[in-house]
Homo-oligomer: A and B are copies of this chain.
Amino acid sequence: MASSPPAVRYAPATLRAFTADVLRAVGLPAEDAARVAHLMVGADLSGQDAHGIFRLPQYVGRIRNGGINLRPSIRVEQTAPATALVDGDNAMGHLVMTRAAETAIELARGAGVAWVGVRRSNHAGPAALYALMPLAHDMIGLYTAVASANHMAPWGGQDLLLGTNPLAIAVPAGEEPPLVLDMATTVVSYGTIKKYAQRGQPIPPGWMIDPTGEPITDPRRASEGFLLPVGGYKGSGLALMLGLLGGVLNGATFGRDVVDFNADESSETNTGHAIIALDVARFTPVETFKREVDRHIRDLRASQRLPGVEAIYLPGTQRQMRIDERTRDGIPLPTGLVQDLDRLAERVGVGPLSTGNR
């Protein structure tokens, strides 16, 4: 991986306050602004930088161009004891997905499991945020979404018809941190490409190709090519199936209909998501389950290692390390990003981040 550029660390509370200030300044109600800011900075806190405060200028651009409904009426229609369909009324995706996750948890309490589909939402940040929500209720969470732009072609093809459609699965543990898988179905997310572009760093071969099949290594050329699926045809197939579950099933966009929210700041995206909450206690006593998960985590971590490997990381281990480190030392933001955020703050009339508490 490329080395990190110069960065300044900020306290999470500072970033939350700044983010909420900016969102309020462009018209989001205070409570909604605080909720979105909390989730966005939660992404930074856990190391998912490409989905955190880095996205603020893009979100503000969309809001100012009328691409987001700031006074939405999010509707939840329960369609069966264990299913619901959420119509996000083109609100900020974070708000829609929070409602959807709460609905899934509530329904799963009664039905054992719930599947909640979402339409007319928007980009909602990293998948892990929502898969993790059921864990506070001793439930397992699963989440997918149709990505907010198509950066992938079908396997063997050139047309941009698929997104990085992510899959997240979160499972509670006992004394160990929860296990959290959050994977794009591409080798890397497009957010990661953006991060490299913003830092002026080249991307390794194997992440993107151009229409002749040649690797792209300059992230500024990203729009000329497409991301490669993880594991070849398997990742491509998974992106398709997740897109049907998160999009088509819910009447949300998929394939040719996806609005590229990088290029178009005003059209409604009709983004789709799906979230499942699964009540552990309906299968095995919660304490037994957590103890067993702990035991398996320790077994896996204690495995003999391959030559040259220093430690075995499970899904969620590095996430927890980042949360611990950044809660203690602050969240590092590249100086280029801080300058972008300061310019944004000036445009919307709030105080700059760079003079805030660190």
| A residues lining the B interface (CB < 8 Å) | 79-83, 85, 110-115, 117, 140, 153-159, 161-162, 167, 169, 171, 179, 181, 183, 187, 211-213, 230-231, 233-235, 237-238, 240-241, 244-245, 248-251, 254-256, 276, 278-280, 282-284, 289, 292-293, 296, 299-301, 303-309, 311-315
Contacts and interface: CB of A to CB of B under 8 A. Distances in A.
A28 to B, nearest CB: 29
A284 B249 contact: yes
B303 A79 contact: no
Given A169-B241, A181-B237, A234-B231, A249 B140 contact: yes
Q: DSSP majority for the A interface?
A: mixed
A161 B300 contact: yes
A248 B181 contact: no
8 contacts: A79-B283, A82-B114, A153-B306, A154-B312, A171-B244, A213-B307, A250-B284, A255-B300
A296 B240 CA distance: 10
Number of copies of this kind of chain in the complex: 2
Most-contacted residue by chain B among A181, A211, A212 (CB, 10 A): A181
A312 B140 contact: no
Contact of A80 (B79, B110, B306, B309): B110
Nearest to A285: B251
A299 B112 contact: no
B169 A303 contact: no
Given A179-B241, A230-B234, A237-B183, A153 B283 contact: no
Contact of A312 (B156, B283, B293): B156
Contact of A156 (B115, B158, B306): B306
